[in-house]
Amino acid sequence: MSTKNIAVIVGSLRRESFSRKVAHNLIALAPDSLRFSIIEIGDLPLYNQDIETDTPPAAWQRFRDEVRPAHGLLFVTPEYNRSVPGALKNAIDVGSRPYGKSVWNGKPGAIVSCSPGAIGGFGANHHLRQPMVFLNVPMLPREAYLGGIDKLLGTDDKFVPETAEFMSKYMHTFAAWVDKIAGS
């Protein structure tokens, strides 16, 4: 099994967000066969086809160039109003354009949603799944919702043992998914 590069897209822009902490925990729990890069989305101008020219905004180009070589995608997101944050949806749109040059196409993906609430970002998880499937991203069938995330992280921002065990299994399942879809 060769090493696979994984683009991690964090849906929250806040530096100390639960989603960012979860992403770092997931990276630490993943098998060595995966190499991760968190791809920042906070500087992406809103997608507007009028400025999709031969020289698109530098932030769009940077984002596309960072996602394009990835073998797989890991989305870690909070839930805003039973859906995904606007910045995350914008990143999806930026990556899917220009038509026929989507950086998402064919890359295996997975979603981990988290929330201090009881249902762990269920709405965001399912809303995110819809455009990714449309964009030809084979999504890991196993779902992960981390409800009560404020209680699943210790004072050191690491997962409590039970959550670490569960998410370690999830990350190993994701690694097998990436290997299956992206090839060895």
How much of the chain, in percent, has pLDDT values that exceed 90? 96
How much of the chain, in percent, has pLDDT values that exceed 70? 99
**Res 144: pLDDT:** 96
Total length of the chain? 184
How do beta strands 109-115 and 72-77 pair?
Answer: parallel
pLDDT band for 102, please (50, 70, 90 cuts).
Answer: very high
The pLDDT mean for the chain works out to: 96
Question: Is the whole-model pTM more than 0.75?
Answer: yes
What domains appear along the chain, each with residue ranges and CATH number? Answer: 4-182 (3.40.50.360)
- Residue 42, CA atoms < 13 Å, CB-side half-sphere: 8
pLDDT 10s digits, 39-82: 999 999 999 999 999 999 999 999 999 999 999 999 999 999 99
